[in-house]
Structure 1
Amino acid sequence: MIEQSPDASGTTAERGRRRPHRRPLDVEDSASRITAYVYGNIVVLATLFPLSRAEAEEGRSFAVVLGVSFATFLAHAFAESAGRRARRSDRLGWPEIRAELRDSAPVLTSGLLPAAVLGLAWLTGVPGLAAQLVAEGYVIVRLALTGVIIQRLRGEASSLRTVLAGVSLAAVAAAVSVVKVLIAH
């Protein structure tokens, strides 16, 4: 039997490896981060789909994905702060604003790697189609991992059911993104 106990540095030793010892987030913070994670991934996927191979090769896709990710992050943090303010009678202080920015960070991180891949295609001459497929695949994989991430934030182990739920979510999100592209463009 393997014994696990946090040491003074806050890590847990297991089989010679050190892992961070972390408490599960409270329900409110966990839900806020998952909302930002799913929303950010859907927005980035919907942003990627209508972009062309030529736009990836010319650098426009890089700028669009990065700009949309950053603007959506700010809008999401603002909306979450407004919601938090509506639930309270006092003003939000810097600790609460920082918490909203932290909880909204998954919106921003959803677009960083896709933007980097598209930026590298632009700078190095990698074919735009290849860069687009890698960027879109990355976002779909992130969506497929949603169930696993929810379990991790809860401090629970993942199961096959959680993984299958994430894969289903990825399929639905891809469909939503396609519909958004068809309606908006």
Structure 2
Amino acid sequence: MATSTVLRPLTRRREDVDPHRAESRVAAYVYGNVLVLAAVVGTSPATVDSGTAAVLVVGTVLSTYVAHVLAHSIGALFTGGDRRRVAQALRDATPILSSGVLPAALLLGTALGWPSELVGQSLASAVGVVRIAGVGLVYRRLQADVPLGRAVLVGVTASAVALLAVVLKLTLTH
């Protein structure tokens, strides 16, 4: 079965990404999206209305990005190793930053008056779920020789597990 014209750009493989770096980018993608989803779902209508929810999402992605880069660069920092590893860590963590762009924009728009708090928060949450559900396509595009059906199944499963992580966070920390 041929890949549809709509899915072709999403499923075209990049041959220039090392498999280890592809895994690192996908891990950053999932991690960023799960944390953004938890931040969005954990906000109240008042924080959405005031714009604080958008700031929380931006703060979440920035602090997570810095922590992720530090964690992946620490060996090179101790040993005075290859500066290229730090540059790679910066690049490979970029999906953490991108995970918050659309949810923060939706929440900021909501704070400015459109859409309503419930709709804005719901849309921002849906973005996180859809992005996580798309992880199989992201992974397939970067490197892996994974059949499309399996990529979709892994993505749907990942979004279910991510929702469980959000429920646990909200239940245990709020």
- Structure 2: stretches of 5+ with no match in the other structure: 1-8
Q: TM-score, normalised by structure 2?
A: 0.86
Q: How far 1:176 moved relative to its partner?
A: 0.8
Q: How far 1:21 moved relative to its partner?
A: 8.7
Q: How far 1:93 moved relative to its partner?
A: 4.5
User: Are 2:24 and 1:35 equivalent residues in the alignment?
Assistant: no
Q: Distance between the aligned counterparts of 2:47 and 2:173, measured in 1? A: 18
Q: How far 1:27 moved relative to its partner?
A: 1.6
**Residue number among 175, 180, 185 corresponding to 2:164 in the alignment:** 175
Q: Distance between the aligned counterparts of 2:85 and 2:14, measured in 1? A: 21
Look up the equivalent residue of 1:183 and give its one-letter code: L
Q: Which has the larger radius of gyration?
A: 1
User: After superposition, where does 1:38-49 map in structure 2 within 5 Å?
Assistant: 38-49=30-41
Q: TM-score, normalised by structure 1?
A: 0.81
* Structure 2 partner of 1:26: 18
Q: Distance between the aligned counterparts of 1:29 and 1:21, measured in 2? A: 14
**Residue number among 61, 76, 84 corresponding to 1:85 in the alignment:** 76
Q: How far 1:156 moved relative to its partner?
A: 3.9
* Structure 2 partner of 1:5: none
Look up the equivalent residue of 1:123 and give its one-letter code: L
Q: How far 1:95 moved relative to its partner?
A: 2.9
CA contact (8 A) 1:40 1:108 kept: yes
CA contact (8 A) 1:57 1:126 kept: no
Look up the equivalent residue of 1:184 and give its one-letter code: T
Query: Aligned in 2, Cα 1:163/1:54: closer, same or farther, shift over 3 Å?
Result: same
* Structure 2 partner of 1:96: 85
Identity %: 34
Look up the equivalent residue of 1:153 and give its one-letter code: L
Q: Give the RMSD, CA atoms, in angstroms.
A: 2.2
Name the structure where strand makes up a greater proportion of residues.
1
* Structure 1 partner of 2:116: 127
User: Are 2:46 and 1:54 equivalent residues in the alignment?
Assistant: yes
Name the structure where helix makes up a greater proportion of residues.
2
Q: Distance between the aligned counterparts of 2:76 and 2:19, measured in 1? A: 18
* Structure 2 partner of 1:151: 140
CA contact (8 A) 1:148 1:163 kept: yes
Q: How far 1:29 moved relative to its partner?
A: 0.5
- Structure 1: stretches of 5+ with no match in the other structure: 1-17
Q: Distance between the aligned counterparts of 1:157 and 1:176, measured in 2? A: 25
